[in-house]
């Protein structure tokens, strides 16, 4: 997806709008938006660390631009309609150990199925957070995305670490 064309990426706009608007019309009080780390991916290219969710967006691709639009839409719906919106900037989501072992970046950005399930469950359980952005990654030793706000506000406690898992295999 990071290499998507504008034509393909712009489909995010009406899809995201339709989801937020349908939820509002149905009086849904919480939306969990599956965003992406590519919303802030240019910060990674520049070597910034830690990358926190409260920094301004800096997309690394048109796909990231499309997802940044979805996050901005979430902020708007939260402010305007008092809907709780939680955006999860999901990292590298794979269960395949070979895929995790293929490059150093994956050791930093990996999110295990178990940890993502916990993050989503805690996002659903928490009350009255308004608008929030959390990075969806495991407790990787050399991660550069900050998960401190997810730990503090959601009680998120990652169970997995890509490097520990690879050493055990």
Q: What is the pLDDT of residues 29-88, one digit of tens each?
A: 999 999 999 999 999 999 999 999 999 999 999 989 999 999 999 999 999 999 999 999
7 or 26: whose pLDDT is higher? 26
Q: Which CATH class is domain 6-168?
A: alpha beta
The band of 1, judged by pLDDT with boundaries at 50, 70 and 90, is low
Can 63 be counted among the known catalytic residues? yes
Are 136 and 125 in contact by the 8 Å Cβ rule? The answer is no
Global confidence as pTM: 0.91
Which residue is catalytic, options 63, 77, 135, 156?
63
């Amino acid at each position: 997806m990071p290499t998507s064309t504008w034509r393909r990426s712009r489909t995010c706009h009406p899809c995201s709008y339709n989801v937020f608007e349908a939820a509002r019309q149905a009086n849904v009080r919480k939306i969990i938006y599956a965003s992406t780390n590519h919303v802030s991916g240019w910060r990674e290219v520049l070597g910034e660390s830690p990358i926190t969710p409260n920094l301004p967006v800096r997309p690394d691709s048109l796909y990231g631009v499309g997802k940044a639009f979805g996050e901005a839409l979430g902020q708007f719906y939260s402010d305007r309609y008092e809907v709780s919106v939680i955006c999860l900037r999901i990292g590298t989501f794979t269960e395949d150990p070979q895929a995790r072992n293929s490059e150093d970046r994956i050791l930093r950005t990996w999110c295990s199925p178990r940890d993502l399930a916990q993050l989503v469950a805690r996002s659903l359980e928490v009350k009255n957070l308004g608008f929030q952005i959390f990075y969806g990654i495991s407790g990787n030793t050399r991660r550069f995305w900050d998960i401190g706000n997810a730990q503090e506000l959601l009680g998120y406690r990652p169970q997995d670490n890509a490097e520990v898992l690879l050493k055990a295999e």
